[in-house]
Amino acid sequence: MASGAYSSIRTSQVVRIILFITLASLLYGYFNSDDYNPRKGRNFRRPKFQKKLKQDTVMASAYLKNIANRRTIYALQKASSISDSRIQEILTETIKHTPSSFNSQAGRAVLLLKSEHDTLWDLGHDAVKSNLPQAYDGLKPKIDGYKAAYGTILFFEDQETLDGMKSKNPGMPFDQWSEHSSGMLQIHTWDALELEGLGANLQHYNFIPNFSKQVKEKWNLPEKWDLKSQMVFGTPAAPAKEKTFLPIEGTRLLVFGQ
């Protein structure tokens, strides 16, 4: 065979290979695009050659990063990085989706903004001064700092709802489970506020009986609402303090079965 003819055959083979690769590439992109859905409205399983994203890198890591970023911020300004309606929307979603034992949904929240927020911490001053006069000088600067923030979220658990659950399920520790659910609601809300650029700190002045009573009287709240915590929030005026960590593996985390 002449060398010219041999060279022509080799060239045509190369062209066919290039065309095949190009076609395969186009088909791959087409079948993996979001626009391709030959069975719209039905469950459609994509071709097996679709490249799957790793859940640990795409989803879990982002969530864990947010957990690490959320910190207690005490230096807060009377300003917000988001609108009041957005804060309300966040609370609506966290209250709706936070789990509760037997789906009791006993979590309650009250959002206090502007002058209502200031009034809350005026009550805090009065409660400490009348119930813990020996501690007032030390706590006064802290309470002033809470008042200097933008707002406060009061978290409650509805005891009437829990009493109803206990009557239907005697012996079940609904009060303990209620604490768990309230904690989840608080941390979900805190995480969401942090993602929106707000800082927060969590207080528990409800340990002063007079404080809880005055709060419910001031805002005409049900007597059966049990106050759990007060989340103070606003635009951060200073970063969180450095945090140290105890060893995890072998002390705070034990693993069996590996």
- Pick the range with the lowest mean pLDDT from 54-63, 94-103, 230-239: 54-63
CA proximity to 214, closest of 93, 103, 128, 100:
128
What is the pLDDT confidence band of residue 209, given thresholds at 50, 70 and 90?
A: confident
205 is a domain residue: yes
Judge if 31 and 76 occupy the same domain. Answer: no
250 is a domain residue: no
Give the Å distances, CA to CA, from 164 to 105, 175, 178, 184, 221: 12, 12, 13, 22, 19
Residue 20: alpha-carbon gap to chain centroid: 49
In the chain, how many domains are there? Answer: 2
Prediction pTM value: 0.78
Judge if 189 and 88 occupy the same domain. Answer: yes
Element (H, E) at 139: helix 136-147
Element (H, E) at 4: helix 3-31
Q: What is the CATH classification number for the domain harbouring 144?
A: 3.40.109.10
57 is a domain residue: no
49 is a domain residue: no
What is the pLDDT confidence band of residue 49, given thresholds at 50, 70 and 90?
A: very low
20 is a domain residue: yes
Judge if 4 and 115 occupy the same domain. Answer: no
93 is a domain residue: yes
Higher pLDDT, 60 or 152: 152
What is the pLDDT confidence band of residue 55, given thresholds at 50, 70 and 90?
A: low
Judge if 4 and 77 occupy the same domain. Answer: no
Structural domain span for residue 2: 1-37
Q: What is the Cβ-side half-sphere exposure of residue 153, based on CA atoms within 13 angstroms?
A: 27
Element (H, E) at 111: strand 107-113
CA proximity to 229, closest of 98, 80, 110:
110
Q: Chain-wide mean pLDDT for the chain? A: 87
Per-residue pLDDT tens for 101-139?
999 999 999 999 999 999 999 999 999 999 999 999 999
33 is a domain residue: yes
121 is a domain residue: yes
Judge if 79 and 206 occupy the same domain. Answer: yes
∠ CA 235-87-199, nearest 5°, is 25
- Supply 65's token pair: 């990063």
CA proximity to 150, closest of 215, 206, 212, 73:
73
Judge if 14 and 122 occupy the same domain. Answer: no
Report how far residue 193's alpha carbon sits from residue 171's, in angstroms, rounded to the nearest whole number. 37
